[in-house]
């Protein structure tokens, strides 16, 4: 019971934080709103893609947590091309539930809490009630070392 209360408090905190961060970014940097690439901490982490078989093929996706980044929630890492990865927050922009990992061939990312649907290739909203896209993190891939650098 205590754990459920803590999760609800965490969800409410994250919902308010997302609204605050989104509002500040939209006011101060319109370009960031247009691309939905939001940097919140400027902390870069490196991820060895070769250790994850799901990411060996284009279209592959995994959920991965990075030691307290993204509010403690994992991110979705999706291989878009040989040397291109999309990194999205798993925090639903409606009320901060954790979205599902997209299934093989599924063009969408689903949130089971209230059935919001996001585009797997952009994080944009396909169906509400969510109205904002999933937060997108900057990511660069070094093909020679198979290392993905994600900036939170
Ligand atoms: S929290 Fe995801 S749809 Fe409501």
Say if ligand 1 is within 6 A of residue 94 CB. Answer: yes
- C-alpha of residue 101 to centroid of ligand 1, in Å: 14
- pLDDT reading at 33 higher than 80: no
Q: What mean pLDDT comes out for the span 73-94?
A: 96
Q: Name which residue sits closest to atom 1 of ligand 1, judged by CA.
A: 95
DSSP 8-class letter at 67: T
- pLDDT reading at 144 higher than 70: yes
Class of CATH domain 2-151: mainly beta
Which atom belonging to ligand 1 lies closest to the Cα atom of 116?
3
For the record, the structure tokens of 86 come out as: 């999309």
Residue 11 — very low, low, confident or very high, per pLDDT cuts 50/70/90? Answer: low
Rounded Cα gap, residues 39 and 46, in angstroms: 16
Cα(first)–Cα(last) distance of the chain, in Å?
32
Dihedral over Cα of 68, 70, 93, 40: its sign: positive
Say if ligand 1 is within 6 A of residue 15 CB. Answer: no
Q: Are 92 and 116 in contact (CB under 8 A)?
A: yes
Please report, for the chain, the start and end positions of each structural domain, with discontinuous segments joined by +: 2-151
Say if ligand 1 is within 6 A of residue 92 CB. Answer: yes
Query: Quick one: what percent of the chain has pLDDT higher than 70?
Result: 74
Q: What mean pLDDT comes out for the span 93-111?
A: 93
Say if ligand 1 is within 6 A of residue 134 CB. Answer: no
- C-alpha of residue 129 to centroid of ligand 1, in Å: 7
Residue with the bigger pLDDT between 21 and 87: it is 87
Q: Name which residue sits closest to atom 4 of ligand 1, judged by CA.
A: 114
């Amino acid at each position: 019971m205590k754990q459920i209360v803590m999760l609800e408090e965490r969800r409410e905190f994250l919902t308010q934080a997302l609204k605050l961060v989104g509002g500040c970014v939209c006011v101060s940097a319109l370009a960031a709103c247009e691309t939905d690439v939001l940097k919140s901490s400027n902390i870069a982490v490196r991820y060895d893609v070769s250790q994850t078989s799901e990411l060996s093929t284009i279209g592959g996706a995994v959920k991965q947590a990075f030691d307290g980044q993204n509010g403690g929630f994992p991110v979705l890492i999706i291989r878009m091309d040989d040397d291109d990865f999309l990194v999205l927050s798993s925090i639903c922009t409606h009320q901060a539930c954790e979205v599902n990992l997209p299934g093989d061939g599924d063009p969408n990312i689903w949130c089971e809490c209230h059935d919001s649907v996001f585009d797997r290739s952009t994080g944009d909203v396909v169906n509400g009630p969510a109205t904002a896209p999933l937060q997108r993190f900057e990511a660069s891939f070094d093909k020679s070392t198979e290392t993905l650098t994600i900036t939170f």
